């Protein structure tokens, strides 16, 4: 290994030094690679097992590697849905002392899939629109943070299941730029890039017979513009009303909470004669349901999963006539009596199918369908047993595809009691 090798990392993992940096990435031996589905990339990308985890290694020019590393670090500090950068490695040379490209190392996002892998496994008619909806939410969140992407596409995004929908994460920030705020022109240009790229990517899937040829991919591509505009308007547009309609302030906040956003600050002004009020959100922060569930239970899950689990917690509270009790105490009992027993009831050999929170969501869905069919309440233990045998056992093994051990899939971050 050349003495000129340089590693830039916030927290250096010594195991990085053991990887064959003197070999071009496309020639790395199978012994260090993890067999994960890869999306389309203009660069060589490999997944590597490192210290009990999986990392993504991308061969890229030195200046671009440092730029992307810096952008991803800033996005992570701002809480944006994006992959975590681990290191930039430069100064690589092969055994003949010929220079090799630099590399960017990022943490692999567990349970995430590129869009092509999603279509290869889940050919539901609405899969494309659900991915577009997730990408629209991601783009709005990034734009609110002042991030101009410059290359918005399904290929540059990873998707995770989120209570029947998808959550989207930025995985490629090569062309990205962080600004104090974006102009309308920057936002609209990003949106147009997204529309054109999505149409092209879906046409490519149609050519490969992964998407039905009858689906109007142009209309689906245009959907991201509609979904983005609706969400952006709700999050940022000013609203005027008479002073006698002050309830509309709370209504606006409730609508934003329903969308999964907390309102950190509102701008409220009145006209000269005090007969009308104008409000506009100044600070909105995504993750309303996620934060509430984390505060109550310590469970770290996706936003829609958190919303569904909070709904079940509210139902549990009503069923046990505990509306007047402290919410934290009720949540503790729900965790011990409902969520954890449901997760533990999944046979160990099937625990790699889905994340625990997604399994819980699907069990609730299955229980509801059983109750509708039987016209009576169904005990949770019966719903779990039926779900395991009729649905989960026949699902693709997502965790095995993603390369993590079955024993790791039931771990969720929560405080120890």
Please report whether residue 413 resides in a domain. Answer: no
**One domain, residues 276 and 319:** no
Domain boundary among 55, 88, 107: 107
**One domain, residues 71 and 138:** no
Please report whether residue 416 resides in a domain. Answer: no
pLDDT per residue as tens digits for the range 173-219: 999 999 999 999 999 999 999 999 999 999 988 888 777 788 888 99
37: which 2 tokens?
Answer: 């589905």
Please report whether residue 177 resides in a domain. Answer: yes
- As a whole number of angstroms, the distance between CA 85 and CA 144 comes to 21
Domain boundary among 107, 125, 154: 107
pLDDT per residue as tens digits for the range 308-324: 899 899 888 888 888 88
- As a whole number of angstroms, the distance between CA 298 and CA 292 comes to 9
pLDDT per residue as tens digits for the range 24-55: 999 999 888 887 656 566 788 999 988 888 89
- As a whole number of angstroms, the distance between CA 303 and CA 259 comes to 10
Q: What is the mean pLDDT of residues 323-337?
A: 90
In which residue are the tokens 């007047």 written? 324
**One domain, residues 347 and 275:** no
Domain boundaries, position 272: 239-286
Tell me if 16 sits within 8 A of 105, measured CB to CB: yes
Selected residue with higher pLDDT from 118 and 398: 118
Please report whether residue 345 resides in a domain. Answer: yes
Domain boundary among 78, 107, 136: 107
**One domain, residues 153 and 92:** no
pTM here is 0.76
**One domain, residues 135 and 246:** no
Please report whether residue 353 resides in a domain. Answer: yes
In which residue are the tokens 């790395």 written? 28
pLDDT grade for 412, boundaries at 50, 70 and 90? very low
373 contact partners, CB below 8 Å, separation of at least 6: none
**One domain, residues 126 and 232:** yes
Number of domains making up the chain: 4
Q: What pLDDT, on the 0 to 100 scale, is given for residue 396?
A: 67
Please report whether residue 415 resides in a domain. Answer: no
Q: What pLDDT, on the 0 to 100 scale, is given for residue 374?
A: 86
Is pLDDT above 90 for 152? yes
Q: What is the DSSP letter of 82?
A: B
Ordered DSSP codes for 263-280: EEEEEEEE-TTSSEEEEE
**One domain, residues 41 and 100:** yes
Q: What is the mean pLDDT of residues 264-289?
A: 79
Q: CA 93 → CA 8, 14, 30, 98, 210, distances in Å?
A: 17, 20, 21, 5, 41
**One domain, residues 322 and 397:** yes
Tell me if 126 sits within 8 A of 12, measured CB to CB: no
Tell me if 354 sits within 8 A of 397, measured CB to CB: no
């Amino acid at each position: 290994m050349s003495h000129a090798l340089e590693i830039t990392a916030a927290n250096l993992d010594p195991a990085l030094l053991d990887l064959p940096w003197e070999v071009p990435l496309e020639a790395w031996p199978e012994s260090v690679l993890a067999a994960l589905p890869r999306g389309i990339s203009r660069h060589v990308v490999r997944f590597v097992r490192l210290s009990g985890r999986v990392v993504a290694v991308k061969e890229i020019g030195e200046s671009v590697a440092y730029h992307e590393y810096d952008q991803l670090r800033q996005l992570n500090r701002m809480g944006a849905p994006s992959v975590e950068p681990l290191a930039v490695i430069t100064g690589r040379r092969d055994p003949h002392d010929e220079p090799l490209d630099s590399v960017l190392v990022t943490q692999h996002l567990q349970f995430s899939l590129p869009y092509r892998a999603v279509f290869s496994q889940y050919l539901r008619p609405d899969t494309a629109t659900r991915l577009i909806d997730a990408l629209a939410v991601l783009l709005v969140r990034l734009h609110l943070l002042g991030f101009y992407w410059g290359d918005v596409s399904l290929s540059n995004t990873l998707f995770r299941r989120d209570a029947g929908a998808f959550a989207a994460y930025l995985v490629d920030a090569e062309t990205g730029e962080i600004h104090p705020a974006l102009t309308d022109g920057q936002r609209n240009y990003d949106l147009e890039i997204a529309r054109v790229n999505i149409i092209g990517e879906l046409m490519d899937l149609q050519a490969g017979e992964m998407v039905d040829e009858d689906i109007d991919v142009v209309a689906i591509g245009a959907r991201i513009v509609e979904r983005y505009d609706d969400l952006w308007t709700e999050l940022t547009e000013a609203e005027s009303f008479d002073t006698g309609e002050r309830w509309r302030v709370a209504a606006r906040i409730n609508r934003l909470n329903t969308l999964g956003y907390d309102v950190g600050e509102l701008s409220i002004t009145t006209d000269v004669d005090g007969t009308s009020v104008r409000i506009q959100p100044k600070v909105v922060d995504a993750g309303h349901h996620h934060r509430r569930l984390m505060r109550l239970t310590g469970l770290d899950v996706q936003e829609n999963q958190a919303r569904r689990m909070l709904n079940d917690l509210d139902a549990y509270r009503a069923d046990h006539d505990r509306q007047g009790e402290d919410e934290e105490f009720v949540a503790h009992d729900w965790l011990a009596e409902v969520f954890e027993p449901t997760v533990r009831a999944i046979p160990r050999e099937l625990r790699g199918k889905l994340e625990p929170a997604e399994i819980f969501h699907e069990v609730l869905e299955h229980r509801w369908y059983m109750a509708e069919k039987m016209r009576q309440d169904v005990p949770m233990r019966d719903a779990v047993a039926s779900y395991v045998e009729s649905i989960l056992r026949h699902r693709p093994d997502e965790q095995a595809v993603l390369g993590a051990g079955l024993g790791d899939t039931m771990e969720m971050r929560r405080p120890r009691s």
